[in-house]
Chain A
């Protein structure tokens, strides 16, 4: 044990340390504002998935693609209608036979390190993905139909495809397409691609922003590219900060730590609508939520697999389930009204592909009709009220797999259970992790599964997972299906949409495909949830937030437009902003805790000075 003197010194040192810390706390905000009075920073919440890796050849997570869209260029951008527009390429033309595409690229662009950005960079990036399995880890499928890619001169890129491909202009678009990287930086590392973390800052790229710093699970910092060809960003800097809990992100927004959050839940959204200092906005959904029906899982050769209930192979039962689902109630109760009733397979964020059944063709919510068609098909009720499949003799007790971490699934399943039991179908709800659910799906060991997909502007992939080619092989491997759907007419239309170059005509083909899916009742789409955004009105303007009743694409970060167009309020200077938001808080804390430290230290000293006497 120490002596009284050493204790006193310790207490004094602690007081001094506390005082220094607090003095620092009280002054750092002001110091920071004073050091850069004219600099402005946009502070946003990073995508909830986070960033898996900064290597654009290997990344899968949304957070990484948000970063890539900001720092790497693409051949095309997306215009405000969600269709391919100019970016690196100013124009693009397919040949007569539709097998050769010629892109004319802008002249005079430079990478962040001053080296010229030419068609050679684009050709090298696409060729690497086409020829190297590791480089194709994330984006290999986008170039699988490419025969060759060449740069005939610094501003001309020629892409030859093996077969006509209508979606070539979607292959390199921000966020969902292939980012173009600087050849002179990546070529020396190409043989070692798997181990490249791409974390030398600033990252050499070209986009509206330059990545200057990144700390995993914490934040990514960007500087504005003041020479960006599609417009200069409104802020000097951008910070994307990671918040694992949306509640914490909302707290950060309300306390001034963040300027904008994309993707709050309906309850938070409604609570924040009352706050006059916040702007709340809804984006039309770019994904669907619904239920997959295992209508007899089978392999490519038709061999049955899995443990699905055989009665689900009967279109009458699937129709009855669809009739017994009240989608309007699900939107009202599960989404608190923040969404649209589902029907077509492609979400309404992409109006060029959006489809609805014709008037009178929609599946209504009609429990009586559902019961009637089951009666007519011979599904009689047993003593327990559960119907029996007349062919297999099995009672209609179905398993419904739901995601353990999804509140929508929990809400939907409780409603579905009630509705289906009314018509004599018993539901056993199984709560599964995402990976367990995927594992069961692949093996066909399920009856009904809650599912959901979001999609970018090109519908090819999402439509593709309903083709026969995605069924598994006989050994159970190689599958990439969702509902084991396989229909020859659908497959023919899938090929047709890939070769229909007039995008309006292509949309008609895509609509026919959605009609087939709708009538098959294997992917029963419940709703399209709107994305709910909140921004501070005192620190940011110009964010593209859409309208509550918008029918078109209002991207938050489907591309880079929103953060590019965001700007600080005109009348607000950075210094004033800093003082208003952060200057008072630390001083307040500093004063309070300093007082506590002094009082606490005093008590300790007083007690210790008398300790010897007491003992």
Chain B
């Protein structure tokens, strides 16, 4: 039996949470989250400050720039400031909610992140919902009838896809469904988020974005869903020998009801952990998928920043990514308290 599995469904549901217990619990978790956030800030700054960088020469390569111009640009970008001063500015700006000023795009990092957050959340969110739904469903079915033909097909297909490099799978789907092969015609756009020649609002735009979303989303789902299948399948198999399921069957419940009402809720906890971990890294996007399909999201913005390297932009995205992971961990702690009675008992 899984160490996270509750002994029976009655204990998972139906117990209230005392308000007096909840507040200190939340407070301690919140303080821990804030400490984590500050530590990641320091680590992030140190890492990016240690990177070998001559952003001015890299930025200006290809344009005739004089020595005086290079010096002026260094001053404009704050590169002449000592490291300690840059660190204080960085922390101060972060506390004020400002993420700095991008060297290459010459605008605030916040506005750059805000522009790219929507596309990334759309792609990653859709892919996450689909892969969670597909993965859990397949995992439950496979685990409940492990060893069956369905199980063998589902398990081997998901593990095969999990092993495939995302970039390669993206290219195969691109060639197959965008260019078209043999009898398969060109079905979906090769890249971008919208067709510029169509109106950028209204129903037509929604449909257009949906069409552009299909291939990158499919690539993500095909690669990601396998881990939900694996974890859920294992959890269900662990549950199957439990006495409470025998009791449930003895009460005359159907096999379907035993699975859905008793086994699944108890087997769900490891998957919940994984879901929250995934939600945490959601905003960082998937660099490879965004690169293959030219999806204008945060993952690719980070890659662009690394090339220069655009330190304020890297630091800004690092803060956003770190914050999202920390917030999701915090939420996971809270949800766990509701789902698992042993957490409340601590």
Contact = CB atoms under 8 A, between A and B. Distances in A.
Interface of A: 21, 24-25, 28, 31-32, 41, 43, 50, 52-53, 55, 58, 60-62, 133-134, 136-142, 144, 194, 197, 213, 215-219, 221, 237, 239, 241-245, 247-249, 251-252, 254-257, 405, 433-436, 438-442, 453-454, 460-461, 464, 469-470, 477-480, 584-586, 588-589, 611, 614-615
Interface of B: 51-55, 57-73, 76, 104-107, 112, 115-116, 171, 174-175, 178-180, 185-200, 203-204, 206-208, 210-211, 253-254, 256-257, 290-294, 296, 300-301, 304, 306-309
Contacts of B65: 140-141, 480
B106 A242 contact: no
Given A53-B105, A589-B188, A140 B69 contact: yes
B67 A480 contact: yes
A136 B57 CA distance: 16
Contact of A255 (B51, B116, B180): B180
B210 A21 contact: yes
Contact of A257 (B59, B105, B189): B189
Contact of A217 (B71, B106, B257, B296): B296
Contacts of A32: 197-199, 204
B266 to A, nearest CB: 16
9 contacts: A25-B207, A28-B208, A62-B62, A216-B296, A245-B294, A254-B179, A255-B179, A435-B307, A585-B187
A252 B191 contact: yes
Nearest to A432: B52
A454 B185 contact: no
Contacts of B69: 136-137, 140-141
A248 B294 contact: yes
Contacts of B70: 478, 480
Given A243-B192, A251-B174, A614 B52 contact: no
Contact of B254 (A221, A469, A614): A614
Given A141-B64, A245-B293, A433-B309, 12 more contacts: A28-B207, A32-B198, A60-B63, A140-B69, A216-B105, A217-B116, A247-B174, A255-B190, A434-B308, A435-B53, A478-B71, A480-B67
Nearest to B194: A218
A589 B187 CA distance: 6
B197 A41 contact: yes
B76 A134 contact: yes
B190 A257 contact: yes
Contacts of A43: 196-197
Given A218-B296, A248-B174, A589-B211, A438 B188 contact: no
A52 B71 contact: no
A53 B188 contact: no
Which of A50, A61, A141, A441 has the most chain B CB within a 10 Å cutoff?
A: A141
Given A21-B206, A585-B185, A218 B193 contact: yes
Contacts of B57: 438, 441-442, 480
A173 to B, nearest CB: 12
A257 B186 CA distance: 10
Contacts of B68: 140, 144
Given A55-B106, A194-B106, A615-B254, A256 B186 contact: yes
Given A218-B192, A439-B52, A136 B72 contact: yes
Nearest to A24: B207
B76 A137 contact: yes
A42 to B, nearest CB: 11
A190 to B, nearest CB: 16
Contact of A248 (B55, B204, B292): B292
